[in-house]
Chain A
């Protein structure tokens, strides 16, 4: 096995990174892929809660790095999806407990263990972000269709390019068509025009996401959920399938974007 390591990051906080990591990991695991997700948000862990694995934590990321346990001991296996594993963050430490080179070492060890490693990055562009991207083969930048979130995503895309971690791909989360139509929200087209990177997913605003997170059952498996379907589609695109984008918006518009502009 040689896993590919994917990091989801955003610059701005609260755009939905943790939600995306959980849902993409669940979708990949449901397709028989062996997945390990890592909560890189040390000191503010919550991927365990969203995945409903909080009460099974014994060891965490810092324990692995500081050698208090073996890698496999810190990998919590999901009972619903046996291919899904989580390495939780330490809640009582801070980001300085981990370094980028620790993450690269851990990533190399994990490559032998699974098909995909998915890392949840903390917000910001400081140490925690550096840790989260250090081992990544591919970075997914997430934003909301909102001016400040897009500005921060742009900054992150630039930093990733400079660090030779690019080109990143983009997930736009919490798109609300009614608001876009009223002109109260940036459209997909506006965001893509500015960021000029490849789009890998558009996830609609959906109350079900919050309900599912609180319950600890990611909604990616709910066939009726639009947001869940959008996350599943991202997983399938990661696996190399060509999946058209959900018809949230006027379809012609999207096609024009994809044929009309190359990323730089």
Chain B
């Protein structure tokens, strides 16, 4: 049987790849390994590749706390499961590491089915980063310090004050709309803009690329 736990060194710390099987057993095996080799793990920053396991907040935060009790910081989660990725992002963990494993040629974005948008029904608060290959719809605000990276367009039914990158893979047709468009920084494809100082009342606005420049105009029924 192959070892269910594989460990590799990374620039950012250790990358631990967990095998399949019931989650409780895998998590217990990991904790056992860590307890058996305290000198090796003490103070380490861990990125966990948990494959297809679907984890909810209770499971992931429990593991994080148990690792933290043993002197480790769980900073990143790599997973094939969107649920798990979302959980990790909600807990403020990274879901990408800068150097993917060489054998893993997984593109930064996996192409989703066409016209599938990510639905975010909460305020994107400071320290939260949402990444999605397609369009993203937020019902809530995007606060300063919050970030959205989308392969497609971004619609914010609320105040947009954080950082948004639409068309992150180069789609110049991507747009960004918000009820109050006042981002810290706005990017569409390869262009970057900062919000102009605005006075007076805010209106729903839509930003798009025109002749290589990001322009914003009133967002209204046409």
CA distance A130 to B127 in the complex (A): 16
> Which residues on A are within 8 Å of B, measured CB to CB?
96, 99-101, 125, 127, 130, 134, 151-152, 154-155, 157-159, 161-164, 194, 196, 264
Give 19 pairs: A residue, B residue, CB < 8 Å, sorted on A: A99-B68, A100-B65, A101-B69, A125-B92, A151-B126, A155-B92, A158-B92, A158-B127, A159-B91, A159-B92, A161-B122, A162-B61, A162-B91, A162-B92, A164-B57, A194-B141, A194-B143, A196-B141, A264-B123
Q: Does B125 contact A264, Cβ atoms closer than 8 Å?
A: no
Q: Does A154 contact B58, Cβ atoms closer than 8 Å?
A: no
Cβ of A42 to closest chain B Cβ, rounded Å: 14
> How many interface residues does B have (CB within 8 Å)?
22
Q: Does A130 contact B65, Cβ atoms closer than 8 Å?
A: yes
Q: Does A158 contact B71, Cβ atoms closer than 8 Å?
A: no
Q: Please report whether the interface of chain A is mostly helix, strand, loop or mixed according to DSSP.
A: helix
CA distance A110 to B128 in the complex (A): 34
Count A-B contacts at CB 8 Å: 62
> Which residues on B are within 8 Å of A, measured CB to CB?
57-58, 61, 65, 68-69, 71, 90-92, 122-123, 125-128, 140-141, 143-145, 161
Q: Does A155 contact B123, Cβ atoms closer than 8 Å?
A: no
Q: Does B128 contact A151, Cβ atoms closer than 8 Å?
A: no
Q: List 5 tightest A-B contacts by C-beta distance, closest first.
A: A158-B125, A162-B90, A155-B127, A154-B126, A99-B69
Knowing A161-B122, A162-B92 are in contact, say whether A155-B61 is a contact too (CB < 8 A): no
Q: Please report whether the interface of chain B is mostly helix, strand, loop or mixed according to DSSP.
A: loop
Q: Does B143 contact A163, Cβ atoms closer than 8 Å?
A: no
* Residues from chain B with Cβ under 8 Å of A100 in the complex: 65, 68-69
Q: Does B125 contact A157, Cβ atoms closer than 8 Å?
A: yes
CA distance A161 to B145 in the complex (A): 16
CA distance A17 to B69 in the complex (A): 25
Q: Which residue of B lies closest to A134 (CB)?
A: B65
* Residues from chain B with Cβ under 8 Å of A130 in the complex: 65, 68
CA distance A99 to B141 in the complex (A): 34
* Residues from chain A with Cβ under 8 Å of B127 in the complex: 154-155, 158-159
* Residues from chain B with Cβ under 8 Å of A157 in the complex: 125
From B57, B69, B141, B144, contact of A162 by CB (8 A): B57
* Residues from chain B with Cβ under 8 Å of A161 in the complex: 90, 122, 125
CA distance A158 to B92 in the complex (A): 9
